[in-house]
């Protein structure tokens, strides 16, 4: 597990990412939904403790998905095609 407090990044905008302390640890009781369990590999990014959770509407979520899709694939373009699934419990109930 990797925990990032984005407030640490706001304290000094000139501070580089690699110079900010980030907590990481192994979570022995990590669980996924049945949909994610069916996948053989991947990365789960859970975003929590938002300042204003209700401000995250469908438009913001789709913008986040576009930004995440721009991340560099560590395996290169030719080896693995990345697929990005974005889940938001609040949005699941909307039609």
How far apart are the C-alpha atoms of 79 and 51, rounded to whole Å? 38
Task: For residue 7, give Cα distances in angstroms to 42, 49, 87, 95.
Answer: 27, 11, 24, 34
Residues 23-69: tens digit of each pLDDT = 888 877 777 766 666 666 677 788 888 888 888 888 999 998 888 88
**Domain layout of the chain by residue ranges:** 2-92
To which residue do tokens 């974005």 refer? 86
| pTM above threshold 0.85 | no
| Percent of the chain residues topping a pLDDT of 90 | 4
Over residues 66-90, mean pLDDT: 73
Higher pLDDT among residues 63 and 5, named by residue: 63
Long-range contacts of 25-31 (CB under 8 A, 24+ apart): 25/1, 26/1, 27/1, 30/1
To which residue do tokens 């949005």 refer? 91
């Amino acid at each position: 597990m990797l925990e990032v407090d984005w407030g640490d990044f706001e304290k000094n905008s000139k501070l580089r990412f690699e110079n900010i302390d980030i907590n990481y640890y192994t979570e022995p009781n990590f669980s996924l939904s049945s949909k994610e369990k069916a996948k053989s590999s991947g990365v789960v990014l859970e975003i929590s403790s938002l300042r204003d959770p209700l401000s995250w509407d469908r438009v913001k979520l789709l913008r986040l998905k576009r930004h995440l899709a721009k991340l560099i694939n560590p395996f290169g373009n030719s080896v693995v095609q990345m697929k990005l699934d974005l889940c938001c419990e609040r949005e699941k109930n909307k039609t």
